[in-house]
Structure 1
């Protein structure tokens, strides 16, 4: 009896698969993909790029797949991270790997969302995360807090460098390049995807920046800054998919440019985000843009839930708001869920 029932289920499944309309672009394979969520180790290396034209250092951390037998060590630092096989040989399991570029939040650093970089690397991605010069916790330069348009330039510059780097140039699938960013890093992604800045008065700019970027943008610096570049397009057509978390500065972009964005976006935001309020940012982007999936974290998750978990060392130096979660929030569990969704999303990344 059980055998007949099993055969009936298999026949029905086969029948439904035949009838499944391909035009829906729903890929069953993603639901059966095994995702490594707890990597024991990844390859990692630090590349010190320098943009001569802009006279700007762009320090970049690269995570990448390695063979299982590769030795590793437990890293030190402020953020919880998996084992590191520093400067190890890239795995030869595949000839080329897709590339994902990461952009950190305002005043953060290249390790802020290492939890995502590690999972992506363990699942077959080369991941590049840069420090945005002058806008990191250990290198605060007000001039570059204002010149946010240097960020998308950093991303395109890093892609250029990796594609010509002796370690990675022949190992990156240049037709499959993705992007992920957090907070101001997520906004950087919108810029790269083709969003353009609208005209806005400096007084309004100052007020909103103080609201969403913290009181680090001063009026005297605004008066000294040449804003001509902010209205340029920073669209990089090489990037074909965007996974962004807690995007900010929704007021900055024109609706027309957002509507023209072609690559698929996966936007994640939290209901309790006071830094980048949901209605004016993530929801607004999702309403205007065409190819968007929006995930809203329920409960008390906030803007900082997306940051790495802090080590005991980190808790000595960081403000508690960056690592202490509100009641009922399990940061580790949330990040595991998001990392899996990111892997599945990028697995379906369209080739350029």
Structure 2
């Protein structure tokens, strides 16, 4: 009953929040974090609130993806703002949730995303992918950089830091909340479910197959600075120690996608995660019509046709990807902003 009341309360707050005026334009800047060892440089973007109104233009667009409206290199608005860090899914990139970042920036959030080496669109080195414990460390490094070394350091409120993660980024987000990889638990699960998508991916990437890798993967990778986390249709729930999930205290908004043809099984992913978490720390939404790839950007009117001709195996990422996806994006952004504000 308490779980249902939390969902109802969030729905009411969402309606209230969406009715509020958005006071800012979206500023946009490139982001680079240099690794002193030269092993894992990070690149991405920062979206932030600006009071400037001139120079609004379309960014991160191509013939398939519609892009977002922002003002490049605009001055940041006066004040101190909460921070949201974002982790993309498997072979995604820092632009995948630009739609959410731009929306949150207009509401008064600084948002930052990087492309994870080894598991992003243009960075697929097998050794980097194997070191999947580096993904949550990337996010912690991103927070470190923004708080101490970036031009936005004085703008960010260190007591209001949040995260959103999609798919494999959702797995990364749960690690940062305190979920801990358990090789033996996952091995047992995969032996009984050899065709499971995440079992196949983790096997191909050689995740946790050596004692050294298992130790690195099973370490505590949590970041206590995160005050709330939004998890978007994650994959890999069965790889976590159930005991570690039951001990998570960070508030989580988990959004499952029930319309997946090419996506993930909710019964072993989002629904299973929610069942394993303490009821006091989780809010679950499963919006009708939502599919796994609706967490990507809005497609252009010609996007589906272009993919059907040039990349037919990937055409499904743009099915219902225009008007329908735009409405889902608005609903998700409202729910996420309301959830973060409540923390």
Q: TM-score range by the shorter chain?
A: 0.7 to 0.9
- After superposition, residues 139-150 of structure 1 pair within 5 angstroms as 139-150=123-134
Residue 47 of structure 2 aligns to a residue whose secondary structure is: strand
Aligned to 2:231: 244
Aligned to 2:87: 103
Post-superposition offset of 1:227 = 2.8
The answer as to whether partners of 1:40 and 1:83 remain within 8 angstroms in 2 is no
The answer as to whether partners of 2:257 and 2:266 remain within 8 angstroms in 1 is yes
Cα distance in structure 1, aligned partners of 2:82 and 2:329: 21
Aligned to 1:336: 330
* Structure 1 residues 184 and 37: CA distance shift in structure 2, 3 A: farther
Residue 112 of structure 1 aligns to a residue whose secondary structure is: coil
Post-superposition offset of 1:276 = 2.2
Given the alignment, which residue of 220, 237, 244 partners 1:233?
220
Given the alignment, which residue of 294, 318, 322 partners 1:305?
294
Post-superposition offset of 1:192 = 0.2
Could you state the TM-score of these two structures normalised by the residue count of structure 2?
Answer: 0.83
Post-superposition offset of 1:165 = 2.4
Post-superposition offset of 1:243 = 0.9
Deviates more, 1:183-192 or 1:209-218: 209-218
The answer as to whether partners of 1:102 and 1:128 remain within 8 angstroms in 2 is yes
Residue 233 of structure 1 aligns to a residue whose secondary structure is: coil
Residue 50 of structure 2 aligns to a residue whose secondary structure is: coil
Residue 343 of structure 1 aligns to a residue whose secondary structure is: helix
Aligned to 1:280: 268
Aligned to 1:88: 74
Aligned to 1:67: 51
Given the alignment, which residue of 104, 107, 113 partners 1:129?
113
Matched, 1:161 2:149: no
Could you state the TM-score of these two structures normalised by the residue count of structure 1?
Answer: 0.81
Post-superposition offset of 1:255 = 1.3
* Structure 1 residues 330 and 30: CA distance shift in structure 2, 3 A: closer
The answer as to whether partners of 1:43 and 1:86 remain within 8 angstroms in 2 is yes
Residue 128 of structure 1 aligns to a residue whose secondary structure is: strand
* Structure 1 residues 29 and 130: CA distance shift in structure 2, 3 A: same
Post-superposition offset of 1:76 = 5.0
Deviates more, 1:119-128 or 1:75-84: 75-84
Computing the radius of gyration from Cα coordinates, the structure with the larger value is: 1
**5+ unaligned residues in a row in structure 2: which ranges?**
1-8
The answer as to whether partners of 1:35 and 1:343 remain within 8 angstroms in 2 is no
Given the alignment, which residue of 246, 256, 262 partners 1:259?
246
User: C-alpha offsets along residues 181-222 of structure 1, whole Å, 9 cap, x if unaligned?
Assistant: 100101111000011111327697697697137658537787
RMSD of aligned C-alpha atoms? 3.2
**5+ unaligned residues in a row in structure 1: which ranges?**
1-25
Post-superposition offset of 1:256 = 1.0
Number of aligned pairs? 321
Deviates more, 1:204-213 or 1:335-344: 204-213
The answer as to whether partners of 1:212 and 1:275 remain within 8 angstroms in 2 is no
Given the alignment, which residue of 317, 322, 327 partners 2:317?
322
Residue 169 of structure 2 aligns to a residue whose secondary structure is: helix
Deviates more, 1:284-293 or 1:139-148: 139-148
Cα distance in structure 2, aligned partners of 1:176 and 1:331: 29
